Chain A
């Protein structure tokens, strides 16, 4: 997904080939490549896409965006572990409509989801 999540750089290491940082996304920590943000240092905030920092941002913006994403429920999918990703795909690739409603009016077409299907299509 094209989403990039803000995180705080807590530690930096370079092995001569690549500059990596331990980045904390509001509690979840990932190893992130920092080669595209040479100006970023420990304590700075950066936005990260698929394990690569792509832009430095200020702390206030970072905290605000993280709070917004968390409130919107967008963090879990981006930072999911491999087990979670497979579990998610096993149940359904996407969760069903979060508030359980549909915008169907009277005489509407169908209900979301189906009953009685097997979990893994085959």
Chain B
């Protein structure tokens, strides 16, 4: 059965790829925003199935990667405190702060727990009344409803020992920021399918109209990605800039109303600093006044944080789609998943990790020409 699935999918994939080749007459740059989509594209070699002129540019769709270094350092400081149980998802464990990571904090005696769901962290708070339980709430709109419900539940249960370190970022403002950048070359977008299953895609027509780019809501599986790319290329070739939904089995225009309702009850929109990019206005969520008590940054006044980014790390350029991971001088040398310089090499949604794990290294000649791209990016 497994082989039948692979065989049939392989046939369909070839057919879609052929169609893309047939309709492409000019080069196009398309960005996928979601890190999960980046991984799927690289892992499954989707980009290698495309005609040479179609370039997939990897966007800042890795919420771990764009969490400011200062917040990571605060997380590490909180996790190291006695009396604290610090909970996060598994892919945060090796994300480097200025001089440590959660895994090392645990090794030195910090109580760091990996949870599957933020509700597990709420349960830990219920079961450990003498401890402060802190959940690292990192994510895009897909994850925010889970965190909203957890804080909402903690409030209804009257928990005094539960708080959330919030690092929520939003996709549409990121797309606007990328398209507004002076040197932008991105011409079309694949919108993130699961973000849109929550938020719908009503936010995208104004963006498509304002910047004249096609935006196609796309899933994660290889066939979904090929289909999303196909539809984007067809629009680009026809000079269209519409919003399409290529993930109809899960996404509707309005999105999940129950989730959006609770999100508006728990969060306020706020400006957010994106690591490697800078402040993007109104690009994140924070707990609103009704839930501010559960904000871990307010509960734990962490001072004395001196952040220091690695001088060798080019995550910022990678996140902005200016640099491919393999073009970074530190890629595979000073920076590997085992010794990451930045979050993009260690997060399960990071582009550098995808390139490393799926063997996308450059030859010496390719590196030489990429070096000039890097110095140009440094000047710009």
Chain B interface extent, by class: 35 or more
Instruction: Give complex CA distance A68, B333 in Å.
Output: 34
Measured CB to CB, the closest approach of chain B to A11, in angstroms, equals: 17
Q: A50 and B104: CB pair below 8 A?
A: no
Binds A, one of B85-93, B174-182, B299-307, B372-380: B85-93
Measured CB to CB, the closest approach of chain B to A6, in angstroms, equals: 9
The residue from A49, A61, A86, A89 contacting B146, defined by CB atoms under 8 A apart: A49
A18-B153, A72-B44 in contact; A110/B146 too (CB < 8 A)? no
Across the interface, name the chain A residue whose C-beta is closest to B116.
A51
Instruction: Give complex CA distance A50, B221 in Å.
Output: 19
Number of A residues contacting the other chain (C-beta, 8 Å)? 66
Q: Mark B134-173, 1 if CB is under 8 A from A, else 0.
A: 0000011011011001000100110000000000000000
Instruction: Give complex CA distance A65, B5 in Å.
Output: 10
The residue from A18, A47, A109, A112 contacting B367, defined by CB atoms under 8 A apart: A109
Measured CB to CB, the closest approach of chain B to A114, in angstroms, equals: 7
Q: B118 and A82: CB pair below 8 A?
A: no
* A27 beta carbon closer than 8 Å to chain B: no
Measured CB to CB, the closest approach of chain A to B220, in angstroms, equals: 6
Q: B43 and A36: CB pair below 8 A?
A: no
* B113 beta carbon closer than 8 Å to chain A: yes
The residue from B6, B107, B149 contacting A71, defined by CB atoms under 8 A apart: B6
Q: A33-B149, A112-B361 are in contact. List 20 more A-B contacts (CB 8 A).
A: A17-B153, A50-B117, A51-B116, A51-B146, A52-B145, A70-B2, A72-B43, A86-B103, A94-B353, A97-B358, A98-B357, A103-B359, A103-B360, A108-B364, A109-B364, A109-B367, A113-B338, A120-B104, A120-B107, A121-B339
